[in-house]
A = this chain, B = another copy of it.
Amino acid sequence: MAKLYVVGIGPGRADLMTREALEALNEAEVIAGYRLYVELIRGQFPDKTYIETGMRGETERCRRAVEEAAAGRVTAVISSGDAGVYGMAGLVLELAENVPDAEVIVIPGITAALSGGAVLGAPLGHDFAVISLSDLLTPWETIENRLRAAAAGGFCLALYNPASRHRQDYLAKAAGILLEILPPETVCGYVRQIGRDGETSGLLTLGELPSFGADMLTTVFVGSRSTRVINGRMVTPRGYSV
C-alpha cells in the first residue's frame, strides 16, 4: 500500500499544529516540502528523509513524494496553513490518481485566514471569501471578477499572496476594484509573518490599502459594511443583540 499524508502545518509555530498533524509527521519516513516550510519543522523531526524544492517546484516535489509512497515508504507532503487551501492536497490527489492502492490522507491545518483573523480579532465573523491575488496559475481577469463578485455579495475577504517581487502593484489594483463597490472607510487589516518571529499586524482603511506595502508573507483582510473597530481589533459582528 502507498500511504501518503498531505499535512497542513499551520503558520509554522509548533503549538499551532494539531496533534493529528504531529502524529502523521512522526509516522512518516519521508517528508516533502517547500524549503522554507521544511526549515520550520526539521528541528522537531531530525531523523526523516527530506525532499525539498524551491518556489515553483511543487509538481516535481509532489511527484517524488508519490513515488516514495508507491515504493512503500510512508510519506508526508507538508503545506503551510491548511493542506487544501492553496496547498498540496489537490495536486497530490491528481498525481496519485493512477497509483494502485494509493491511500491519500489529508490532514487539515490552521490557514492564514484563521490564524491572521485571530490576531486581528474577528474579521471573518460573517460570510467570507478567500481569494489569492497570485496570477501565476490563474488569469488576472478571473481574480478581478472574483473581487467584484465578493464585494457585490457583501463578503468579508481574506486576500492571500497580495504581492511578490514581480507583482508589487497587485494589491493596489485589487483595492481599486473593491473601491468601485465598497466605501473607502471600509475597515481593513493585515498580518505579516503570522505566528512567526517578527509578526506584525495593523488596521487601515480600504482607501489606504492601495498605498500599503504588502509582501508575499502578508495576509490582507477586507471587511464588509458591518465590520467595525473595537478597542483596536477588527470585528465583523455576526448579528447577536448586545
Contact = CB atoms under 8 A, between A and B. Distances in A.
Interface residues of A, number: 75
Contacts of A114: 8, 82, 84-85, 108-109, 111, 114
Nearest to A13: B20
Nearest to A96: B231
Interface of A: 8, 10, 13-20, 23, 58-59, 82-87, 89-91, 93-97, 102, 104, 106-111, 114-115, 117-119, 121-132, 137-138, 142, 145-146, 148-150, 152-155, 230-231, 233, 235-242
A238 B86 contact: yes
A239 B137 contact: yes
A90 B145 CA distance: 29
A84 B117 contact: yes
A125 B14 contact: no
A84 B125 CA distance: 5
A122 B106 contact: yes
A146 B142 contact: no
A121 B138 contact: no
A91 B18 contact: no
A1 to B, nearest CB: 14
